[in-house]
Amino acid sequence: MKLIYTLLGLTVLLLIWSAINPYEYFTWFLEVLPAILGIFVLIITFGRFRFTNFIYILVFFHCVILIIGGHYTYAEVPLFDWIQDAFNQTRNNYDKVGHFAQGFVPAMITRELLLRENVINSNGWLNFIVVCIAMAISVTYEFIECAVSLGTGEGGDSFLGTQGYIWDTQSDMLYATIGAILALVIFGKYHSSQIKAMKTNS
């Protein structure tokens, strides 16, 4: 519990920092809203379904990415401006980190839900369905970005964040898909051991 409270406290502090003189408040709100909603859902469901600590750590890092992106906008994060200049890139690529995490973290959350609720027994089908769900989440987010941009005009351009790259939407979904696959490949066995340990201790 101490770890969870620590992560929650750090997230709240980071949210407060991000809300102080952000690049633009409308964009800030749009970018941090998924983090706020995610935290709210985890809090209200904590008594009925507590995830492994591994998942809460991943969620924390995903929130950090979203909150930093909200403060600066994804096209203006200073570190990635420096990377852009240092490696002669044509754009600030911080948004790709965000979309990679958008596949990586939801994939692990989905995996835990499916395993602990005994929805799927086959490991092959489990991985396939987890990746498909992560891709669906990414596609849905792109729909939301498009709707906000169309509905708000220039006000939503920073949220859309294409930076003139015509394949931005497709590459966003690709990075999310890669993130989901790598999450399963790198952390699948470790995640299973964490779930097993949690069941043993419960």
164 pLDDT more than 60: no
Tens digits of residue pLDDT in 143-156: 888 887 777 765 55
Taking each helix axis as running N to C, give the angle between helix 94-116 and helix 168-201, from 0 to 180 degrees, rounded to the nearest 10.
Answer: 40
Average pLDDT, the chain: 90
Please report, for the chain, the start and end positions of each structural domain, with discontinuous segments joined by +. Answer: 2-201
If one counts every other C-beta atom within 10 angstroms of the C-beta of residue 114, the result is: 17
62 pLDDT more than 70: yes
pLDDT band at 158 (very low <50, low <70, confident <90, very high): low
Least confident of 94-98, 109-113, 140-144, 179-183: 140-144
